[in-house]
Amino acid sequence: MYRLISGFISHVTQKEEFSVLIMGLDNAGKTTFLERIKSTFNDTPQVDPASIAPTIGQNIGRITLSSSVLQFWDLGGQRDIRSIWPKYYSECHAVCFVIDSTDKERIEECWKVFETIVTDHRVDGVPTLVLANKQDAEGAMAVEDIKQMFNQLIVGKLNVSEGAVMPISALRGDGIREAVQWLFVRVQNSRKEGGR
């Protein structure tokens, strides 16, 4: 009887888990974004951004919101590491692509990399959020300009349930709650509509 009751309680209190991939070119601020999420939602100490090294492989962070767990996979953005990204696509529930808004020289490369992600059939129908990071820095591209590029270059090629471009500063924490809330609502809706 105890096993039956404990099994029922475990089933009822079990939290739904969703995987979110964090991708982008190296030095876009992906790990700083992940660390800011962890310190904002998990009550963990904030990591000094100066101590964050380039990601070789992956970093993982989990947060609990309501009755769900969001597991974030921060994937290294160096050119030779990007080849492992597709191994994660079929298991993800959302894609979060981080752009360095100050890196105008690599914006074209950035969009090409993003295009290879969103045109992969394994991410069909997955909510996709583009984060224009480093909006606090002098010389950052305006979010409206990034949105316009996004609309001109990518939108016609997207096969996602929803997509958006949002401004953030991972360093200062601006826009972090809004980005996570956007992801949370979209993965919940996608599940209700028969998605992953």
The binding site consists of 24-31, 55, 77, 133-136
Q: Are 30 and 22 in contact (CB under 8 A)?
A: yes
For the structural domain made of 10-191, what CATH number should be given? 3.40.50.300
Count of beta carbons in the 10 Å neighbourhood of residue 157 = 10
Task: Give the residue ranges of DSSP H helices in the chain.
Answer: 2-13, 30-41, 86-89, 107-118, 143-153, 176-192
Q: Which residues of the chain have pLDDT under 50?
A: 6-12
The binding site for Mg(2+) consists of 31, 55
Domain residue ranges in the chain:
10-191
Query: How far is the C-alpha of 111 from the C-alpha of 99, rounded, in Å?
Result: 9
Distance of CA 131 to the CA centre of its chain: 8
User: What pLDDT sits at residue 124?
Assistant: 87
The binding site for GTP consists of 24-31, 77, 133-136
